[in-house]
Chain A
């Protein structure tokens, strides 16, 4: 397998949103789900908090009433590659657009104490690393990032977050998930290698459970 060398380390400014249960409606409101494209969602990330007006798909950032209190609107956070939050980040709707918006904005890793199941899965399918840490570690990181703007360096292969020159935190994530980012694997290609097994399974199921295959 060819490794994607850029995928091995994520370096960058850490922005943070200090609240629980940030749902995918907050990450990207439904209005922007009307797009039929897979890219171009960067201006709509956290739309309800980032702007003081009601946005529409296609309206540019420059024409919006920007909320200067919101972290991502201020330098150096507007260049963030890492986002820190708390419990149950990405709960709610299954919209993959939430991950697309984070990715398009430039976020390569989200660190939280827990994630919504569907969002967590969607992250790794789009090259975004989702890192779960214990609450005490999350607290430690919040103390650090609230003092001043900091950069973390995340080593994907070693599964370590380097906070600065001396401190680091190890994290756990399934190899198959992280390999998807490191090697840029495509799920459809992987699964279609099992084509014969799927066909065999299906053939048997057609005989044993014919009602599944009945048509109106």
Chain B
């Protein structure tokens, strides 16, 4: 009896090495400008070429400015160092012949957004990328994980990853959540429950009636943040929803698709398979979640008290103190007492069309609060941007006082011009609230697109409706 992860592992297992590790064949390799230059350099030094060119798809996302407008090219990036990195990706893709959706392309975007939407991510694939949020692709039933730059070079050179098998964890989400609770709240709640090291060493399969009933976009949000629970791999078994999604996005012909679908329908955990760890969560009881500290596990219900060192366990005391101090939490007892400065709706966690629709609905006909200095919406890709504009969402946001941007990682991490200034407090739909993540001394509160939109309008967190 096997789990879905076991099946994907066996399907891609090439051989076991003397070391005990295995070579796992990689179907798809995504590349971006930050973690690839040293890998290409290594490849050149060894006089090697990519093993299978067509497996690789590249796009610049981390460094790109999001105020590009039309006809912008890599040379126009103002930050000289960022420019070098983006130009280097252009060069490497040209030299080696790798397909790139470059900065000028209407299909450019965050690598984890464009992969699935352009039909390059297919169920049952092994997918890697030099980015920890590669777990996102597990939402389509892939064995997908983030890798380091040495491994990027290894995959380019050998089409394989040298790895040991992970343990299996099953997380079952059952029930129907409240209307103002989205998959972001569910995954934040889960991380709060098991902690940021709770999933270390595991591949997590997400299942249960809640997962069965949600869209691929919502599943991607959950798998995306598996890494914030410590798990390199998060995955959901392919079902009708998956197949409909793939059919809509795929460039494959019908005959090939039908053959593939017959195989994809076998990709599920056997009924009697045993997991090393199993967690059941009733989602009907979950409230909207907001992080208060500097680790994604520092999360509470939006209307809860912020933890204090006073009544904390001895080993948690110091972490709470340090986090409260960094986040500038003083006398405020509740999250709703905190006054926000900026709002960011975007990132590989929450920049897909569904996310933007949810946020737009909240802000429609309203205006952002006086204390909000800047509220930005950054669609995850050129395709998402186009779709949103077709639906008039850009106008809804702009009328409410938001700034509508071009696709990229933007304010999720401080690599491009979208950054917090010291001590600014941000309502963010991204995935990491680490110190300085959104800019030097910036303060990040992670939440759903719905809650971020609500915060933009009210200036503080509260009950979104």
Residue ranges of A at the interface with B (Cβ–Cβ < 8 Å): 18-21, 23, 25-26, 29-31, 33-38, 48, 54, 57-58, 87-88, 91-96, 99, 114-118, 121-122, 125-126, 174-176, 179, 187-188, 190-192, 194-195, 197-198, 201-202, 205, 209-216
Number of B residues with CB within 8 Å of any CB on chain A? 82
The residues of A that contact B21 with a CB separation of less than 8 Å are 176
Complex CA distance for A136 and B82, rounded to whole angstroms: 44
A-side contacts of B132, CB under 8 Å:
92-94, 118
Task: Please name 12 further chain A to chain B contacts, defined as beta carbons within 8 Å, in addition to the given A88-B230, A116-B197, A190-B19, sorted by A numbering.
Answer: A19-B318, A26-B436, A88-B196, A91-B197, A94-B131, A115-B200, A116-B230, A125-B150, A176-B20, A187-B162, A202-B159, A212-B28
Report yes or no: A214 in contact with B252, Cβ–Cβ below 8 A.
yes
State whether the Cβ of B84 lies closer than 8 Å to any Cβ in chain A: yes
Contact of B41 among A18, A38, A209 (CB under 8 A): A38
Task: Pick from B51, B82, B256, B297: contact of A214, CB below 8 A.
Answer: B256
B residues in contact with A94, CB < 8 Å: 35, 130-132, 146-148
A-facing residues in B32-91 (Cβ within 8 Å):
34-35, 37-38, 41-42, 46, 48, 51-52, 54, 62-63, 79, 81-82, 84-85, 88
Cα distance A121–B145 when bound, in Å? 13
CB distance from B297 to the nearest CB of A (A): 8
Known contacts A21-B295, A88-B196, A190-B17; is A211 also within 8 Å of B84 by CB? Answer: no
B207 within 8 A of partner (CB): no
B259 within 8 A of A: yes
Q: Output the least CB separation between B129 and chain A (Å).
A: 9
CA distance A25 to B430 in the complex (A): 15
CB under 8 Å from chain A, chain B span 1-44: 14-15, 17, 19-21, 23, 25, 27-28, 34-35, 37-38, 41-42
Q: Does B187 contact A (CB under 8 A)?
A: no
**Most interface-central of A57, A93, A190 (chain B CB within 10 A):** A93
User: 3 closest A-B pairs (Cβ-Cβ)?
Assistant: A176-B19, A36-B37, A54-B440
When A197-B14, A197-B15 are in contact, do A33 and B415 touch as well, CB less than 8 Å? yes
Query: In the complex, are the beta carbons of A194 and B197 less than 8 A apart?
Result: no
A88 touches B197 (CB 8 A): yes
Q: Are B154 and A188 in contact (CB under 8 A)?
A: yes
Chain A residue numbers with a CB within 8 Å of B232 are 117-118
| Cβ 8 A contact of B260, one of A26, A122, A211 | A211
| Known A176-B21, A194-B23, A202-B25; contact A88-B200, beta-carbon cutoff 8 A | yes
Pairs A–B under 8 Å by Cβ, sample size 20:
A19-B318, A21-B197, A26-B435, A26-B436, A29-B440, A30-B415, A34-B415, A38-B149, A57-B81, A93-B132, A94-B35, A94-B132, A126-B150, A175-B19, A194-B17, A197-B14, A201-B15, A211-B256, A212-B122, A216-B119
Residue pair B252, A30 in contact (C-beta under 8 Å): no
User: Does residue B170 face the partner (Cβ distance < 8 Å to A)?
Assistant: no
B interface with A by C-beta (< 8 Å): 14-15, 17, 19-21, 23, 25, 27-28, 34-35, 37-38, 41-42, 46, 48, 51-52, 54, 62-63, 79, 81-82, 84-85, 88, 119, 122, 124-125, 130-132, 146-151, 153-154, 157-160, 162, 164, 196-197, 200-201, 227, 230-232, 251-252, 256-257, 259-260, 263, 295, 297, 315, 318-319, 322, 413-415, 422, 432, 434-437, 440-441
Q: Across the interface, do A194 and B14 meet the contact criterion of CB distance under 8 Å?
A: yes
The B interface is mostly helix, strand or loop, or mixed, namely loop
**A36 and B38 contact, CB distance less than 8 A:** yes
- Whether B414 contacts A192 by the Cβ 8 Å rule is no
- With a CB–CB cut-off of 8 A, which chain A residues contact B437? 25, 30
Report which of B14, B28, B35, B415 forms a contact with A198, defined as CB distance below 8 A. B14
On whether A31 and B414 interact (CB within 8 A), knowing A20-B319, A212-B27, A212-B122, the answer reads yes
Residues of chain A within 8 A (CB-CB) of B251 are: 214, 216
Q: Whole-angstrom distance between the alpha carbons of A37 and B41 in the complex? A: 9
Give B201 Cβ to nearest chain A Cβ, in Å.
7
Report the tally of A-B residue pairs with Cβ distances under 8 A: 195
With A37-B38, A125-B150 as contacts: A198 and B200 at CB distance below 8 Å: no
Contact A48 B436, beta carbon cutoff 8 Å: yes
Measured CA separation A42–B432 after assembly (Å):
24
Residue of A nearest to B156 (CB): A188
Shortest distance from the beta carbon of B43 to any chain A beta carbon, whole Å: 9
CB distance from B86 to the nearest CB of A (A): 10
Residue of B nearest to A34 (CB): B81
How close is B243's CB to chain A, nearest CB, in angstroms?
A: 13
- B293 to chain A: closest residue by CB: A21
A residues in contact with B435, CB < 8 Å: 25-26, 48
Which residues from chain B contact A21 at a C-beta distance below 8 Å?
Answer: 196-197, 295, 297, 319
Contact of B125 among A18, A92, A122, A212 (CB under 8 A): A212
CB neighbours of A20 from chain B (8 A): 315, 319
- Asked if B200 contacts A92 (CB within 8 A), the reply is no
Asked, given contacts A31-B415, A197-B14, whether A210 binds B54 with beta carbons under 8 Å apart, the answer is no
Tell me the minimal C-beta distance from B29 to chain A in angstroms. 12
